[in-house]
Every structure is written in C-alpha cells, then in structure tokens.
Chain A
Amino acid sequence: MLRDISQAQQILWAVNIVAGVFLLVLLAVHKNYRTYAAFSIYVFLNLILGVLAFLVYRRWGFLSNLSWSISWGMQALVLCARGLAIMEVCKHLLSHYRGVWALAWRILLGSASLVMLYAGLAARHGLGFVLPKAERALELAIAVVIVGVFVFLRYYEVEAKREDRSLALGFCLYSCFGVLNNTVLERFLDSYVALWNFLGMLAFLASMLLWTWALCKPKTEGSPKETLLPYGVYQTLAPQFNLRLRLLNEQLVQFWKTEATRN
C-alpha cells in the first residue's frame, strides 16, 4: 500500500520512469552510449533503482525505517554512478587541452575537497540526518566542480560541444537543487519529507528533459583535434607575458595614485 505517498508523487514517479526509459532508448538509438558510457550506466542504474524503490515503498511503506535504509543505500550507489558520469562529461569538455586539463582537474579536486569540508562545518552538529548531510556535501562538491569547468571554459575561451554542455548543466542544476532541498529538509524535518521527495523527483525530471533535449538533436560535429604547440613555447612565452602585464599594472597603479593625489 502506498498510503504515505500522494497521488501526485506516484504519477511523477511513473513519468520519471517513462522519461528514463525514453532517454535510454535515445542513448541506444543514437549510439551515444559509446561516447557517454558512464552517463548511460548512470541513467540505467537510476531507472532500475527507481523501480526498486517504488517496490520497496509499496511493500514496507514510505516512512518505515527499512525503506529509509534501503533507499539511502541505493542513493549512495546512484551518487557513485553520478560521480563517474560527471567525471566523464568534464573530461569531454576540457581534456582535449592537455595542459589546461592537467591544471583544471587538480584545482577542481582541491575545490571539491574544500567544499565538502565547508559543508561539513556548516552543517548542524549531531548525528541526526547524517546521510542527507553527506549527500548535500557531495551535491555541493559536484556543483562546484561543474561550475568550475564552465569557468575554465569561459576563461580560456574554449568552445564545447552542445551535448556536453547540456549534460553538465543538467547535473549542475540538479545538484544545486539537491543542496537546497536537503538543507530545507534538515530545517523542517518530518513535515517536509513528502514534499522533499516530490521536489527531488521533479528536479530530476527537469534534468532528464534537458538531457533528452540535448541528445535528441543531431550530434554536434567536433572540429579536428587541435595540434599542440611544442613543449618549450609556453615555458618561454608565459613569463614574458606575465612580465609585460605586471609592468602594465604597476604603471596603472602609479597612474591611479597620481589621480588620487591630484584630486
């Protein structure tokens, strides 16, 4: 009996499953599973676990301890798959530029660790709601990593394929929403649980629609692989660029000081 889950949630559940199946079919038909193997596994796993969760809730009810434990265990599995899918998308976005990618992944990993620490410190003390708190920290780290990749793309003026951008955007928005949803859950506890689940499903549906839209369109043709410069060029030029820029800035500072004195 699904006495604890409202009619709307059940409908949304069904819609999510249909959307997941459609996305999987799309991945198979367009042979995108070759390019996005980890993403395809994530969607597949999510679909299977969604059906399993539905059966668990149907058997033991939405608010039982057993359902809670099983669903969080499955959630951990989904999070791992999501992590891999996100890593794959990030690699698609930046890894063609070896030097920048080598710098980017270190910074992003460092940022993710710091953000998880922040999330741990910012969370209320105590062992209550440990799993939602841990999930929130991971979601926040995921969002930071994806935003970081987009910032790198913008800073280096690198154009990425539309599909990769849309997949990353879907993950990012879902993670942002997950953080907010879990924060509100921590604040309002039991009174928010049903709505928390409903909104989480709604956010995931929105992400799936974005991914479906991205993968529905014909594949963006990539340009031929960029030829990298010889090893010594960057090492020779970068310090010179920085020296000129520093000189320019120093003179600007002097200019500014002159102005300040005059006024």
Chain B
Amino acid sequence: MNLTLILFFGFVALLLLALGWALRKPRNARNLPTDPHALEEGQRHVDYLPQIRQALAAADYDFLSKRVSRGALQRVRRDRRGIALAYLSALRGDFQNLLCMASVIAVLSPEVAAAHEFERLRLTTKFAWQYQMIRWKLMAGFAPLPQLDGLSALVSGLSVRMEAALKELGERAALTAELASPMNRGGLSAV
C-alpha cells in the first residue's frame, strides 16, 4: 500500500479518534463538585481510612486464614479487592475535583500562562497513568492492599494544602462566589 495513503489515512483516523474523545461527555461529569465546599466533602473518603486499613490489614487476613475454609478466604480476598478498588476510585474522584478547580480558575482567568497549563497537563497525564497501573496491579492481585494507605495520605494532604492555599488569598470570599457559579452547572457555558 502506498505510503502517502497510510500517512494521511492514519492521521485522519487519529483526528477522528481525538474528535470522538472530545465530543464524548465525561463519564464522571455528574460527580464533579457542585460547590467549592466539595473539597471538604472529598476528605470524607479519608475519614474512613482507619476502617479500610483494618479491613485490608495483613494480620486480619492471616487470622482469618487459620480459622475459615479456603472458599470463604477467597471470597474475603475478592471482597477486599473490591473495597480497595472502590476506595482507589473514590480517591481519584477527590483528585479530579481538585483538578476541576484548577480548570475553573484557568477558564475564568483573563490571562493564563502556557507553562503552567502544560505542566498541569503533564502532571495530570502522569497521575492518570500511575493510577491505572496501580489499579491494574490491584485487579490482577499483585499489589499488597495496605499500600493504598500512601495514596490516600497524598490526596488528603493535597486537599488540606489546597484549601490552605485558597485561604491565603485576601479575596477568598469573592473568589468563592465566583467559583460557585460555573461549578453549580457542572460545567461552563459559552454565551
């Protein structure tokens, strides 16, 4: 087959894929925060961390392995993995809420810096990649479950520090009011 044909057909195929992605509604659009206080709400997942850690603890598993049948143990392992995945997914939701805030600020700013935006894009891509890797490892049963602890600490720390950063701003009240209007619609609208 002709090289020119391949190059152009390939390029158009990539473009159409990108177009399809861009036109598709985000799967988690409904989960986006409805107001700036959602940051605090995001920390709820972290509030349940001690219980989840206990449920995923290796000692707990060892204790069970000596007392229940093999079938029951497998079921427990499966359930634990389900819990870990759900928790990981909730943490990603928290992370996305924070990203959403960053997007809103960029969209509503009269001037944005390309360097900051590219950096955020790079970091977001990197996070998404790492998250998927950990998720696949969990699904395949390779990752020790209690390691999730580290992830949740990161996200909770991020939430707290982000909130602190916002508080530092003298115009915090005005900013909060400004932010509330576009976020309440779960997206921004062009005039």
Inter-subunit contact A159/B188 (CB<8 Å): yes
Cα–Cα distance between A231 and B171 once the two chains are bound (Å): 12
Inter-subunit contact B120/A242 (CB<8 Å): yes
Cα–Cα distance between A263 and B121 once the two chains are bound (Å): 30
| Residue total for B at the interface (Cβ-Cβ under 8 A) | 76
Inter-subunit contact A251/B169 (CB<8 Å): no
The 0/1 profile, CB within 8 Å of B marked 1, for residues 151-172 of chain A is 1011111111100100001001
Inter-subunit contact B109/A157 (CB<8 Å): no
A118 to chain B, nearest CB (A): 7
Across-interface contacts of B143 in A (CB, < 8 A): 259
| Residue total for A at the interface (Cβ-Cβ under 8 A) | 78
Cα–Cα distance between A236 and B32 once the two chains are bound (Å): 24
Inter-subunit contact B107/A156 (CB<8 Å): yes
Residue A22 CB within 8 A of the other chain: no
Inter-subunit contact B111/A252 (CB<8 Å): no
Inter-subunit contact B161/A244 (CB<8 Å): yes
Inter-subunit contact A255/B147 (CB<8 Å): yes
Inter-subunit contact B158/A248 (CB<8 Å): yes
Stretch in contact with the other chain, from A53-61, A99-107, A207-215: A99-107
Neighbour of A147 across the interface among B19, B126, B162, CB < 8 A: B19
Inter-subunit contact A226/B108 (CB<8 Å): yes
Inter-subunit contact B110/A229 (CB<8 Å): yes
Known: A99-B106, A143-B15, A156-B107. A252 touches B151 (CB 8 A): yes
**A97, A183, A241 interface centre (most CB from chain B within 10 Å):** A241
CB closest chain-B residue, reference A152: B22
Inter-subunit contact A234/B109 (CB<8 Å): yes
Inter-subunit contact A158/B147 (CB<8 Å): no
Inter-subunit contact B175/A180 (CB<8 Å): no
Provide the main secondary structure of the chain A interface. helix
Across-interface contacts of A183 in B (CB, < 8 A): 4-5, 8-9
Residue A239 CB within 8 A of the other chain: yes
Residue B100 CB within 8 A of the other chain: yes
**B116, B131, B134, B171 interface centre (most CB from chain A within 10 Å):** B116
B59 to chain A, nearest CB (A): 18
Across-interface contacts of A157 in B (CB, < 8 A): 26, 29, 32, 100, 103, 107, 187-188
Known: A100-B112, A122-B8, A234-B112. A229 touches B22 (CB 8 A): no
Stretch in contact with the other chain, from A6-14, A191-199, A217-225: A217-225
Across-interface contacts of B109 in A (CB, < 8 A): 98-99, 228-229, 231, 233-234
Cα–Cα distance between A262 and B18 once the two chains are bound (Å): 37
Inter-subunit contact A229/B15 (CB<8 Å): no
Inter-subunit contact B12/A147 (CB<8 Å): no
Residue A21 CB within 8 A of the other chain: no
**B95, B102, B107, B147 interface centre (most CB from chain A within 10 Å):** B107
A15 to chain B, nearest CB (A): 26
Known: A156-B188, A229-B175, A251-B154. A238 touches B102 (CB 8 A): yes
Inter-subunit contact A238/B105 (CB<8 Å): yes
Inter-subunit contact A234/B105 (CB<8 Å): yes
Residue B142 CB within 8 A of the other chain: yes
Q: Which of B125-176 contact A (CB under 8 A)?
A: 126-127, 130-131, 133-134, 137, 142-144, 147, 150-151, 154-155, 158, 161-162, 165-166, 169, 171, 174-175
Can you offer 20 A-B residue contacts whose CB atoms are under 8 A? Answer: A96-B190, A97-B190, A102-B111, A140-B11, A150-B22, A156-B103, A159-B187, A159-B189, A160-B190, A164-B190, A226-B107, A229-B110, A234-B113, A235-B113, A237-B166, A238-B117, A241-B101, A242-B116, A252-B126, A252-B151
Interface residues of A (CB under 8 A from B): 92-94, 96-100, 102-103, 106-107, 118-119, 122-124, 136, 140, 143-144, 147, 150-151, 153-161, 164, 169, 172, 176, 179-180, 183-184, 186-187, 222-231, 233-242, 244-249, 251-253, 255-256, 258-259, 262-263
- Other than the given A97-B108, A237-B166, 4 more pairs (CB < 8 A) read A155-B103, A157-B188, A169-B23, A183-B9
